[in-house]
Amino acid sequence: MTAVAPPVLHLSLIVGGELWSEDGGKVGRVDDLIVRLGEDGYPPVTGLLASVAGRQVFVPADSISRIDQGRVTLAAARLDLRPFERRPQEVLLRKDVLDRQLINIDGARLVRSNDIELARLDGWYRVVGVDVGLRGFARRLLPRSLAGGVKESSFLDWASVEPFTGHVPTVRLRIPHPRLARLHPAQLADLVEAASHSEGGEIIDAVGVDPELEADLFTELEAGHQAEFLEERSDEEVAALLALMEADDAADLVRELPDERRERIVEELPRVQNRRVRALLGFDPATAGGLMSPEFVCVYAQASVAEALERVRRDPGPPDSLAWVFVMSSHKRLIGAITLPDLLRADPELPVGDVAAVPQRVRPDADLEEVARLMTDYDLTVVAVTDPEGRLVGVITVDDVLELVLPRGWRRRFGVLGDD
């Protein structure tokens, strides 16, 4: 979607074109273009591969004077015949990029490159974009004589795509993390699920620079893919990842681990997370106990509203579980609950016990239907879970319930072979 002033050249028409010497004689045929990735901006052409007298030769950029569709002209009359060797960060456009998947960062989706667009920018030929439309496809399909007639379509600017390079032996590029960080963890997880295993691995590697984001991504991945990517990691690495997750998500993930690894990994968790995850693992995942998160704010009834607000302010927990503040008696029994807005509106001097209402609660063994019914009937976003003594042991937030009650068709990936 850019307006690039110089004429756009299509890779499909450069490759397979003639290679001319400076004095105008044909010396061979162009096989592939080489570009260098890994720098900002549009990747420059650093050379080309050509067939000359039945041999494949490498032509460095400084021997090229002009690149046109159908013809590349050399800068010298004589060609220095050198075999091709891959240099770091260089890719072959046709072999390594064309026809393969790329991440369209702006669209948060995977696209396949039907053609690659080049242009002369800042004095040299560079890749400026990728054609993912039908025009690019038609140009490749038609015979050469007709292909030139296919007009160029709007194409994706190179700045908004990111190629996978895991299959190129000499390129050890990491997808730049800041670009992926623009996407929501759920979008990243979708990309990982849609990509092949090695491509998904590249995305996760890139995100790994930011462990928090990586943990969020893993939270969003569906169970099968979580297992797929955790398999290759050591127990310590898995534990480090779990430590950054919310306790209930971490417990869910631990349940997916193979039996023999589970205990070792939980053992590696930091003390607080270890305690929380263990507590949650004791509950059946299909019950309130398994759904709940142990992260909540609960204050004594005698505490003032201001003190309660201060507790919320200092609590590092996720915002959705802090939407309610719970109130307990001096025997630690749950006796009240109040929403954060109500708390803000209340007189800061009053004891919380005076402003809180009687909370709805469920036992840890309540099943999902009971929880969902309670939430709908009382319009709740958070439900308290209490033990038989009436003590608050956890809270269930609406997102955890919604995830499970969503009708199957709504959640389904478009792949019909995909998961329910």
Partner 1 sequence: MAGSVRAAIRSARDRALARRPRLRPRSPRTARLLALLAVLGPGLIAANAGNDAGGIATYASVGAKYGYDLLWMMVLITISLIVVQEMAARMGAVTGKGLAELIREQYGVRWSTFSTVSVLVANLGICISEFVGVGAALSLAGIPKYVSVPVAGVVVWSLVVRGSYRSAERIFVLMALPFFAYPVAAILAHPHWGTVATSTVAPHVELNSGYLFLFVATAGTTITPFMQLYLQSAVVERGIGPDELPGERAEVVVGSVFANLVAAFIIIATGATLYVHGDRSVSSAADAAKALAPFAGRYAEVLFAVGLLGASLLAAAILPVTAAYVVAETFGFEKGVSRRPREAPVFVAVVTVLILIGMTVAMIPGLPVIGLLVAVQVVNGVLLPITLFFLWRLASNRELMGRYANGRAFSFLAAATVFVTSGLSILLLAVTAAGL
Write out the residues near partner 1 by the rule CB under 8 A: 98-100, 108-114, 132, 134, 137, 140-141, 190-191, 193-200, 224-225, 227-228, 231, 286-287, 367-369, 372-373, 376-377, 379, 404-409, 412-420
- Nearest CA to 244 among 179, 318, 339? 318
CB of 286 to partner 1, least distance (A): 3
Q: Which residue has the tokens 């050469």?
A: 144
User: Based on CB atoms, which residue is closest to partner 1, 75 or 138?
Assistant: 138
φ and ψ at residue 366, rounded to 5 degrees: -65, 140
Strand ranges inside 282-353, DSSP E: 297-300, 324-328, 334-339
User: Based on CB atoms, which residue is closest to partner 1, 136 or 336?
Assistant: 136
CA distance 363 to 388: 7
CB of 197 to partner 1, least distance (A): 4
CB of 394 to partner 1, least distance (A): 18
User: Based on CB atoms, which residue is closest to partner 1, 23 or 379?
Assistant: 379
Side-chain-side CA neighbours of residue 199 (13 Å): 19
User: Based on CB atoms, which residue is closest to partner 1, 202 or 295?
Assistant: 202
CB of 32 to partner 1, least distance (A): 12
- Both tokens of 350, joined, read 């009053």
Asked if residues 297 and 347 have their Cβ atoms less than 8 Å apart, the reply is no
CA distance 390 to 383: 14
Asked if residues 119 and 9 have their Cβ atoms less than 8 Å apart, the reply is yes
Q: Determine the number of helices (DSSP H) and then strands (DSSP E) in the chain.
A: 19, 20
CB of 83 to partner 1, least distance (A): 18
CB of 194 to partner 1, least distance (A): 3
User: Based on CB atoms, which residue is closest to partner 1, 77 or 141?
Assistant: 141
User: Based on CB atoms, which residue is closest to partner 1, 388 or 415?
Assistant: 415
Q: Which residue has the tokens 């491509």?
A: 199
CB of 416 to partner 1, least distance (A): 4
Q: Which long-range contacts (CB under 8 A, 24 or more apart) does 341-346 make?
A: 343/305, 343/308, 343/309, 343/312, 344/309, 346/305
User: Based on CB atoms, which residue is closest to partner 1, 325 or 371?
Assistant: 371
